[in-house]
Chain A
Amino acid sequence: MAPPERKSILLSFEKPLVELEARIAQIRELAEENDVDVSAQLRQLEARATHLRQEIFSNLTPAQRLQVARHPRRPSTLDYIQAITDDWLELHGDRGSGKDDPALVGGVARLEGRPVVILGHQKGRDTKDNVVRNFGMASPGGYRKAMRLMRHADRFSMPIITFIDTPGAYPGYEAEEMGQGEAIAYNLREMFGLTVPIVCTIIGEGGSGGALGIGVGDRLMMFEHSVYTVASPEACAAILWKDAGRSGEAAEALKITSWDLKQLGILDELLPEPVGGAHANPIQAADILKQALMEQITELSQLAPATLQQLRYQKYRQIGVFAEAA
């Protein structure tokens, strides 16, 4: 049975589904009280619910997908790390800024016996946790910690796995003062120079430069309902439409869904989600992720470091749409 607080984080388009589920629960309760066998009807209703869920989630608009990607119960970086690794130790600190960034976590782990470095943005599970995690908006120190861990991986020939889930890099006073732009830029360039496989996955929200700051890799994977945006639809609407309220239109126009990115030649692998989204069945989502990671890493590990670097450059080199007249 659903915990009571689930109602408060219900997405608007899930309403018919929840109504149906409530009816099922009601019938089951009544049947138990009156000792009537309604199992046939229940099975029918449950099948309808599954069908409805499938239908709703396969027809989501980009703005609705954004809601799923930002769902407070969507599995986070640390959730996935716990689910997929055999061994894991979080490592803190960028060795410079004098402050650890809880919005970007990372460490050493073992994935099916293979040592790897995993890092990613960390959102909070509730408001209090989100304040600590700064809503997954990393500071320059977070990006520098990420680079320090990636260098560590490079030194010990460990593949790098990054999980992206951020509304964007933190746009705060201190972040600017500490060189937010420089921290991200530095990672973009240096990730091209690393000699170990890098697999990046958008597990939730891929927000602009803050996502890209740990997002240059040999493979880019993305969960079905995740989004990846050049600017948040809200910001885009405020700038281009002069009306932040029109973010739905902006979400549509910006082409932010996994299918859009596949079409634009940016995404390598689209990971299907359990029906109802990753938050409906986190264990299954983690299995899908682990399977895909294992396949990618196994494949990439066979390449020589120089080949890896060269292919990584080629991957980004060909992104862009323009015409060239002779």
Chain B
Amino acid sequence: MSLFDWFANRRKSGPISEDRQEREIADGLWTKCEHCDVLTYTKDLRTNQWVCSDCGHHHRIFSDERIRQLIDANTWQPLDVHIQPQDPLKFKDRKGYGDRLRDTQAKTKLTDAVQTGLGTLDGLPVALGVMDFRFMGGSMGSVVGEKLTRMIERGTATSRPVIIVCASGGARMQEGMLSLMQMAKISGALQQHQAAKLLYMPVLTHPTTGGVTASFAMLGDIILAEPKATIGFAGRRVVEQTLREKLPDNFQTAEYLRDHGFVDAIVPRTQLKQTLAQLIRLHQPVAAPAVVDNHTPWANGLNAAEPTHIGVDL
């Protein structure tokens, strides 16, 4: 076989699929950091939650891995796994939406772009939704809307804090206006969760844009973001076209949003679980003292049967 044939064959076999790339990462002994080019033993990278120990680059991770990192072992109860997407508009661009769904499902082993469930995080019960960018760019259609809404409703009914890890290009065009309306639906569920005085914390990861930014991503009581994540409403290219000039490099980064007052804190992935746990604990009412100690000097003169004002009736 000549070198020319080899190239021809190689071209025929097509570009390396995303699937194969992933397998290479998963099976490969070493992984090269896409940011600093340093080779890391894959096992170590995984232990470090796919954050490069050399440059701090956050490799993209997907929903299963994220759930594994945040939820205590053996406590994850997935919700609504049987909800399947449909093709209500019979939408066809360069490929039919129905076919696109089937292919993406086969490739990703996901039903749609979000996984939701209940579990404990450092022993604290939470309701968690994790978007998955592999599934059509994490786009939000009817299934994402319905699963997140049900998860939030479940959180409200069981008085749990809600956490949503966002990663999405925005509303899914293939479901047209049904997708846009999911923004309203989820926001409505969050309104009820908020009215019940419960804590909601979105975690914005790379990328969080469009309709997701213009709804639940920006509605957190506390909004956290991963370092360097792209977060914005309009796409960078669209803004550049509107403005007809180049934008600063840090435009629409997590750091930029924090500096402009739209993100509360940037949390490296390796500290995310403990930070979320810390925040949930900081919002729990102070526990009532188990025994009223009549011997403490400040208790003198107080009727022990009356509640003291140390946060008991919060």
Contact = CB atoms under 8 A, between A and B. Distances in A.
A188 B183 contact: yes
B205 interface: no
B214 A181 contact: yes
Nearest to B236: A176
A161 interface: no
A219 to B, nearest CB: 14
Given A236-B173, A323-B86, A180 B234 contact: yes
A209 B188 contact: no
B86 A241 contact: no
Contacts of B182: 319-320
Interface in B180-224: 180-185, 187-192, 194-195, 210-211, 213-219
Nearest to B211: A209
A255 B179 CA distance: 12
Nearest to B82: A325
Interface in B242-258: 242-243, 247, 251-252
B307 to A, nearest CB: 31
B177 A188 contact: no
Contacts of B80: 324
Contacts of A209: 171, 180, 183, 210-211, 214-215, 233
A101 to B, nearest CB: 16
Contacts of B194: 189
Query: DSSP class of A's interface residues: helix, strand, loop or mixed?
Result: helix
Contact of B175 (A208, A213, A321): A321
A319 B146 CA distance: 9
Nearest to A237: B93
Interface stretch (A44-52, A151-159, A227-235): A227-235
Nearest to B180: A230
A301 B218 CA distance: 32
Interface centre among B171, B181, B217 (most CB of A within 10 A): B181
Given A171-B242, A230-B173, A188 B187 contact: yes
Contact of A180 (B145, B176, B189, B214): B214
Contacts of A213: 214
Contact of A181 (B175, B192, B217, B235): B217
A216 B215 CA distance: 12
Contacts of A236: 173
B73 interface: no
Contacts of B177: 228-230, 254-256, 260-261, 264, 266
B287 to A, nearest CB: 31
B149 A317 contact: yes
Contacts of A312: 188
A245 interface: no
A177 interface: yes
B173 A320 contact: no
Interface string B93-123: 1100000000000000000000000000000
Contacts of B217: 181, 185
B223 to A, nearest CB: 9
CB-based closest 7 A-B pairs: A171-B234, A181-B213, A320-B142, A188-B187, A181-B233, A240-B93, A321-B88
Interface of A: 169-173, 175-177, 179-182, 184-186, 188-190, 192-193, 208-209, 212-213, 215-216, 228-231, 235-236, 239-242, 250, 253-256, 260-261, 264, 266, 312-313, 316-317, 319-326
